[in-house]
Structure 1
Amino acid sequence: MDKKNPEIDQQAPVITYYLEMNNRGQLRSKAQPPGLEVTEAELKEFRFNRYLYQLVGEPWQWVDKLTLSDQAWQEYAERDSLRTWVAYHRGSIAGYYELERQDDGSVQIAYFGLAPRFVGKGFGGFLLTHALESAWSWGDTDRVWVHTCTLDHPGALSNYQARGMQVFRTERE
């Protein structure tokens, strides 16, 4: 993803991991924490997606989409091939994810993360479980995939692997 973490040595090479799950049976679920609810944003509103991107991405310096115009955001977020879910805890946004349907029958977890005040509370495993279940439930999904890198939260890769995703490619910048 488009991230830069200031706590990581910027001189170190960035490693990007591409992970996949090729059948629903590989999913190792994590239980739903008390008080955490996940809801699909069925009525698409690009401004909401932009807000979620900023809220969740700020600590990781997600910057690629910050310069997009309203029209570009609308074209991105309001497509039929993109769906957004939001996690709420006690009425506050705890995190979100976006799923993007690909032409080859796969679904990409395009964005995934927790709002800063909810990191470290045990919500990530269930939110990822929810994302994977939603991806597999979306039509005739053949594969679910995501990429993460060493600039993401230090627990990102292990969360993906703990849920049953497997690395299929690694790139070093």
Structure 2
Amino acid sequence: MSTVTVTTWWLEQNAPENLQPAHIPDTESGIRIARAEIPSPEFSRFLYTAVGGDVTWTDRLDWSLAEWRAFLDRPGVETWVAYDRGTPAGFIELDGGAADGVVEISYFGLIPAFRGRRIGGHLLSYGTARAWDLAERWDGCTPTGRVWVHTCSKDGPHALANYERRGFRRYDTTTAEEPAAAPPGPWPGAHGGANPR
């Protein structure tokens, strides 16, 4: 079996002041961000496969409905979705259920047709700000003292730079050999779509 060398970068912010916000789209752009307040395994799985299908996100593909539900029902887990004129364009998932005040950005990205339009920087800025104020929305959660994320060489080519522009700082870099695998796509046989008008 062939393998590929994967580099993983671990990044963090240790104070809300670390966040360097991106440009906010004007109100006429049609871009808005909203929290999916009702946990929905079906919606979360759609976002996961639509965003991660071309960048080899595979770790949750075999999750059952019960596994999705158990994760999403945990206190401090939030999904924030960017919409372009009502159509989901991408998401950021926060996992802040720990009692130590640490919030992980467990997933972040855009559906391929919406990349390259400056939505990602705005969504990452907004989602990171929500990581910093997460305890305000959850009874019993410790105020956030650290926000962290990891990205790797299998992710989109601009992911690392976007995190660093938003004020995340690398604290570790690892490399590992992983089995070579073709990106699964959002569904079998899918090859992406045309850019929306």
Query: TM (normalized to structure 2)?
Result: 0.80
Larger mean CA deviation between 55-64 and 84-93 belongs to: 55-64
Asked if 1:20 is matched to 2:12, the reply is yes
Question: Are the counterparts in 1 of residues 95 and 103 from structure 2 also a CA contact under 8 Å?
Answer: yes
User: 1:35-54, aligned counterparts within 5 Å?
Assistant: 35-54=30-49
**2:79 aligned to 61, 77, 84, which one?**
84
Check the 8 A contact 1:109/1:144 in 2, yes or no.
yes
Residue of 108, 123, 137 corresponding to 1:127: 123
Larger Rg: 2
Question: What's the offset of the Cα at 1:119?
Answer: 0.8
2:191: which partner in 1? none
Local SS of the residue matching 1:110: strand
* Structure 2 portions without partners, runs of 5+: 136-142, 177-197
Return the match for 1:144 from 130, 142, 147: 147
TM-aligned CA deviation for residue 61 of structure 1 = 2.2
Instruction: Write the deviation string for residues 121-160 of structure 1: whole angstroms up to 9, x where unpaired.
Output: 1111111100110001112100000000001001000000
1:97 aligned residue: 92
Post-superposition CA distance 1:58-93 (Å, at most 9, x none)? 111211111111111111122223111110001111
Aligned partners of 1:92 and 1:86: how far apart in 2? 10
Which residue matches 1:166? 169
| CA RMSD in angstroms, aligned pairs only | 1.2
Greater than 2 Å deviation, 4+ residue runs: none
Give the Cα separation in 2 of the matches to 1:22 and 1:64: 28
Aligned counterpart, 1:6: none
Structure 1 residue 162: Cα displacement: 0.3
> How many Å apart are 1:100 and its aligned residue?
0.3
- Residue 12 of structure 1: how far off its partner (Å): 4.7
Is structure 2 residue 112 aligned with structure 1 residue 116?
Answer: yes
Aligned residues: 164
- Amino acid in the other structure paired with 2:89: A
Residue 24 of structure 2: aligned partner: 32
Deviations 1:93-138 (A, max 9, x none): 1100110013321100010000111011111111110011000111
Q: Which residue of 2 is the match for residue 3 of structure 1?
A: none
Q: Distance in 2 between matches of 1:130 and 1:66?
A: 27
